[in-house]
Amino acid sequence: MPMDNPLNIKEIAYAPYANPDEFIREVTDRIWVERDIEHIYENYEPDSIVHGPGGTAIGVEQVVQGTTMRIAKVPDHIGLAEDVIWEARNDNAFLSSHLVLGIDHVPTPEGLKITRSRTIANCLYREGRMVEEWVVRDSLANCLQLGIDPAVAAEQLPYVGYSGSFKDHAPSDVLSVGDSGPRENDYPEECQMVLEMIKNVWSRRNFKSMSKYFDRDVILHSVGDKTVVRPKAYQEDLLHLVSGFPGCEFEVRDVQANFETRYGGLRVAVAWKLKGNYSGVDIFGELSGQDIEILGVSQFQIHDQKIIREVRVFDWVGVLAQIEATRGDGEYKFENLY
């Protein structure tokens, strides 16, 4: 039986807390619950990099300002750590994948509404300071629960495009080196199984092979606060997404695995990029015929070498904003003749 993760990194990576798990949970509560926004200056490097729905932001000031506005908008926000999947990156750093279940009490003209949505923040910390972050939010869930048209919400979201590591070619051997750097690959069989699944099921759409990777009772938590069960519903949810980008492929940018009884055993986190042309089914509004990049993070729970649960998050409103920002002047004409 695998044991809970040993602390195979120096204390400077997570001090003053007991381990990286506690570090992530307590720092998040300090900023978002205790509202110590100033702590961001201590927690993030001045030139920290954040890849999010609007592209790549550089500098701690954008984090401080964005956090200030979010807290002001939903002052009664509750963020619960559903999972923290972390791995060491050398002996003084770690990469965490923090799954947050957010409960918000949102004032509206109709009165107070309660919403729930998930966020996943993948953060690379070096000697207790955040140097690079990949963050995805289930913006669709909030829109649906508040009765907001996602297209209208997208009009308020600027899109500047991605830069830095996210524009580089995907790592050639992500099990050895991902966007966050070299990794030890403590659970090679399980990680390799997840990567094979993404290649064969997600990118190649070989749904016949699903029984090789998924338990019969697999659970998928997807965007829009949507939960489906069993392989047939899983593939239908995936088909809905890729139907907008029928030639798309999924790049794996990073992976980490962690065994922790608190969160149900072995989990594998994957940061991925969907790359495709928006020329298929108009699930995101009028087709554009332009290449789109979607940042996403999935957390997989593994049992007996099969996936029993996945939490998949990407920013639906961010995709809408990207499509509109990259839309050409001319009218796109659908050309598939099959």
The verdict on 155 and 213 lying in the same domain is: no
Q: Taking residues 101-106, what's their average pLDDT?
A: 91
The verdict on 156 and 190 lying in the same domain is: no
The verdict on 123 and 204 lying in the same domain is: no
Give the residue from 149, 164, 179 where a domain finishes. 164
pLDDT at 7 over 90: no
Report residue 291: phi and psi, to 5°: -75, 135
The verdict on 293 and 212 lying in the same domain is: yes
Look at residues 34, 31, 38, 28 and name the one whose alpha carbon lies nearest to residue 61.
Answer: 38
Q: How confident is the model at residue 6 (pLDDT cuts 50, 70, 90)?
A: low
Give the residue from 164, 192, 220 where a domain finishes. 164
The verdict on 35 and 118 lying in the same domain is: yes
CATH code, domain with 118: 3.10.450.50
Q: At what angle do helices 139-146 and 316-326 cross, to 10 degrees?
A: 100
The verdict on 47 and 146 lying in the same domain is: yes
> pLDDT for 177-216, tens place per residue?
999 999 999 999 999 999 999 999 999 999 999 999 999 9
- SS3 state of residue 318: helix
The verdict on 237 and 311 lying in the same domain is: yes
What is the reported pLDDT for 330? 77
CA distances from 123 to 27, 99, 136 (A): 12, 11, 12
Say if 335 falls within a structural domain.
Answer: no
> pLDDT for 8-48, tens place per residue?
899 999 999 999 999 999 999 999 989 999 999 999 999 99
Total domains in the fold of the chain: 2
The domain in which residue 137 lies consists of 11-164
Give the residue from 164, 185, 203 where a domain finishes. 164
- Chain-centroid distance, C-alpha 53: 10
What is the reported pLDDT for 74? 81
> pLDDT for 259-314, tens place per residue?
999 999 999 999 999 999 999 999 999 999 999 999 999 999 999 999 999 999 99
- SS3 state of residue 260: strand
Q: Taking residues 52-65, what's their average pLDDT?
A: 95
